[in-house]
Amino acid sequence: MTSPTSRAQSGWKHDSPPDRAWKGRPGRTRAAIAAEQDRAAGGRHRRSVDLGEGRFARASVELKVLPDTRRIRAYLRWSDGGKSPARYLGQVEHKTRAANLAEGWKMAWEKGLLTEEPPAEDSWASSPSVRAVMRANRGKDTRPELRLRSLLHKRGLRYRVASRPLPELRRTADLIFSKPKVAVFVDGCFWHGCPEHLRKSHKNAEFWRGKIEGTQNRDAETDRLLREAGWTVVRVWEHEDPDAAAARVISVVRGSLINRDEPE
């Protein structure tokens, strides 16, 4: 029986591989490109090249098709002092870009080109994997936020991003709908203590429990203060289905608009 790889090889003998096997979608943001590489590598902490003397660079796998061979070749690229070194990893033959990127990262590890960058001496993270989780669950413009914003915008809703509902209160919402006074927070599973996906740390367990409980207490206080000021708060977990989350936000925003337009 012919294997999928063999079929791909024979199918590419006279034609170039299909775009879906190696090309990225046009118009992607930097965040989307980085997230794709992170997934393929098995985490951001697995994308480091040791430059020596305590310096590290974040690498990426690049896929190219050479016209003369009609084969997909994988390269590891990184930046070092204004230069962009590249190492040829090998030929990849899967039918999807995601699978070929993952194969490229596997080759890079097998060739000894990568390392897990250690945490900084003053870092709270006990391992590179913990530090990667921390980085993925903080900051703005996360993948769940961008997806939710895109869906809401397509449905005709307009909003402010990363703003304070109450200027005097140092609490920033991910999305603000000013007229209906709706504040939306997209909460990361790690920092906000998701009951479904939080993986408890076995190292420094007491410390991390205190940090997460502190975040949860702050969330509860934020919700209370905003509601007392007449705002409606919507919290979305990062793991929620984007379409379902968008539908929930739309329902709350439109409901709030109707209630505010009704005569007292």
Q: What is the pLDDT of residues 60-94, one digit of tens each?
A: 999 999 877 789 999 999 998 888 999 999 999 99
Render pLDDT for 37-53 as a digit per residue (tens, 0 to 9).
999 998 888 899 988 87
Average pLDDT, the chain: 83
Contacts 24+ apart (CB under 8 A), 110-119: 111/87, 113/49, 113/59, 113/76, 113/87, 114/46, 114/47, 114/48, 114/49, 114/59, 114/76, 115/48, 115/49, 115/50, 115/56, 116/45, 116/46, 116/48, 117/45, 117/48, 117/56
Q: Is 122 among the domain residues? A: no
What mean pLDDT comes out for the span 242-252? Answer: 95
Q: Look up the CATH number of the domain holding residue 189.
A: 3.40.960.10
Residue 200 lies in a domain: yes
Is the Cβ–Cβ distance between 36 and 24 less than 8 Å?
yes
pLDDT at position 264 is 42
Q: Report, as an integer, the average pLDDT of 255-263.
A: 72
Does the pTM of the predicted model rise above 0.75? no
Q: Which range among 14-28, 98-112, 118-132 shows the weakest confidence by mean pLDDT?
A: 118-132
Percent of the chain's residues with pLDDT above 90: 53
Shared domain for 57 and 95, answered yes or no, is yes
Domain count within the chain: 2
| Residue finishing a domain among 82, 110, 138 | 110
Structure tokens that stand for 254 in this block = 């439109």
Do residue 65 and residue 132 come from a single domain? no
Q: Which of 80, 110, 140 is the last residue of a domain?
A: 110
Query: Domain range for residue 154?
Result: 128-261
